[in-house]
Structure 1
Amino acid sequence: MKVDSTMRFWLASFGVGSVMTAFAILGMTVALNWQSPAIEIPVNAATAATRETMCAATGRVDEEMDGLFTLDALTGDLQCAVINSQTAKFAGLFRGNVMNDLGLDATKKPSYMLLTGNASFRATTGTSRPADCVVYVVDSTSGLFAAYGFNWNRNISARGAQQAGALVLLDKGTARNVMIRN
């Protein structure tokens, strides 16, 4: 009889252990399947670089395209070249001039910084609307800064056609509260 009760104990332990293992595996499987669905997180990488005579920055023009903003420190010419995601060719070119807009004197040797930021302007009527990016130009010599934007036509972009226009001065200001003598 002693063998029978020992045998029953081991069989019962094995059975209970097997059932517990099955429930643990089932629980993990159900938990993994019930997790919230993957959330899509948009990623936007913008970068900027500055050298003595040229500044460059990237910024998102719309959901599918980035623009390359360049600023020539010698002339004050600011431009944005947009590469089309369908054709992998530059399909947009927008231009402006920082020296003219800020009234800078080229002989004072401006020292520029170029940055971009995301923008979500109110919807406008028609096919052309403001791009999703603003480019900021700062002259560290004078302390003056400006913000620029441009209109982007998604329909033209979808066809892979070229578009061009002006980088429009949105606003300007100064970062210095006092005048500094040269």
Structure 2
Amino acid sequence: MKVDSTTRFWLASFGVGSVMTAFAILGMTVGFNWQSPAREIPINASTAASSETMCAATGRIDEEMEGLFTLDCLTGDLQCAIINSQTAKFAGLFRANVLNDLGLDATKKPSYLLLTGNASFRATTGNSRPADCVAYVVDASTGRFVAYGIAWNRNISARGGQQSGVLMPLDKGTARNVQIRN
């Protein structure tokens, strides 16, 4: 049986088209699977706001708890109120006064900034370990700053219990290298 050139052309075109279609389907399948994550990627968001007399910022304390950090610009009182996601009630209150830690004169009017950041401290022994959040207080007048942390007990938190304590200064520094006259 003799096949004419037109039939050979169409058979070859069909064969090449089929192979190209198979590669296109394979490429799209691999591409889509490669682009879609195999697991969920957690998203953490925090925010901060301020006025002349009050600064506020939020931060993740652990996997299920959110903290509201407030700084009274008139007194220098910093506190973190932590809400329990299971009970929808405040389950923790931690406090500090930033004036001494920043080395500020109580009679001068500081200009504060309050920010939070995520932290993953190395595990420590016992039930209490640092929370997953660090609060940063900056005095824009002097450039001095302090980082604060919380000793958080996840077992008490899981039971819905109350916690309180001190916001601990972790470290401090200065962002300004020259003295500015008042």
Give the TM bin, normalised by the shorter chain: 0.7 to 0.9
Residues in 2 aligned to 1:65 and 1:23: alpha-carbon distance in whole angstroms? 50
The alpha carbon displacement at 1:124 in A equals 0.6
Equivalence for 1:177: 177
Q: Using a 3 Å threshold, how does the CA distance of structure 1 residues 31 and 87 change in structure 2: closer, same or farther? A: same
CA contact 1:74–1:106 (8 Å) conserved in 2: no
**Letter matched to residue 119 of structure 1:** A
Q: CA RMSD in A?
A: 2.8
Other structure's SS at 2:67 match: strand
**Letter matched to residue 171 of structure 1:** D
Residues in 2 aligned to 1:145 and 1:31: alpha-carbon distance in whole angstroms? 50
Q: Using a 3 Å threshold, how does the CA distance of structure 1 residues 177 and 35 change in structure 2: closer, same or farther? A: closer
What TM-score does the superposition give when structure 1 sets the normalisation length?
0.82
Other structure's SS at 1:155 match: helix
Equivalence for 2:105: 105
CA contact 1:76–1:97 (8 Å) conserved in 2: yes
The alpha carbon displacement at 1:173 in A equals 1.6
Deviation per residue, 1:38-86 (Å, 9 max, x gap): 3421101011111100000111111222211000000000001111111
**Letter matched to residue 172 of structure 1:** K
The alpha carbon displacement at 1:107 in A equals 2.2
| % identical equivalent positions | 70
Alignment of 1:36-55 (within 5 A): 38-39=37-38, 40-55=40-55
Equivalence for 1:137: 137
The alpha carbon displacement at 1:144 in A equals 1.2
Residues in 1 aligned to 2:178 and 2:71: alpha-carbon distance in whole angstroms? 26
CA contact 1:102–1:146 (8 Å) conserved in 2: yes
Q: Using a 3 Å threshold, how does the CA distance of structure 1 residues 162 and 29 change in structure 2: closer, same or farther? A: same
Equivalence for 1:128: 128
Q: Using a 3 Å threshold, how does the CA distance of structure 1 residues 25 and 159 change in structure 2: closer, same or farther? A: same
Residues in 1 aligned to 2:147 and 2:28: alpha-carbon distance in whole angstroms? 53
Unpaired segments ≥5 residues, structure 2: 1-6
CA contact 1:78–1:98 (8 Å) conserved in 2: yes
* 2:162 is equivalent to residue 162 of structure 1: yes
Residues in 1 aligned to 2:58 and 2:41: alpha-carbon distance in whole angstroms? 20
- The more displaced of 118-127 and 28-37 is 28-37
Equivalence for 1:4: none
What TM-score does the superposition give when structure 2 sets the normalisation length?
0.82
Q: Using a 3 Å threshold, how does the CA distance of structure 1 residues 53 and 30 change in structure 2: closer, same or farther? A: closer
Residues in 2 aligned to 1:87 and 1:156: alpha-carbon distance in whole angstroms? 13
Alignment of 1:142-153 (within 5 A): 142-153=142-153
Equivalence for 2:94: 94
Unpaired segments ≥5 residues, structure 1: 1-7
Residues in 2 aligned to 1:173 and 1:26: alpha-carbon distance in whole angstroms? 58
Q: Using a 3 Å threshold, how does the CA distance of structure 1 residues 32 and 74 change in structure 2: closer, same or farther? A: same
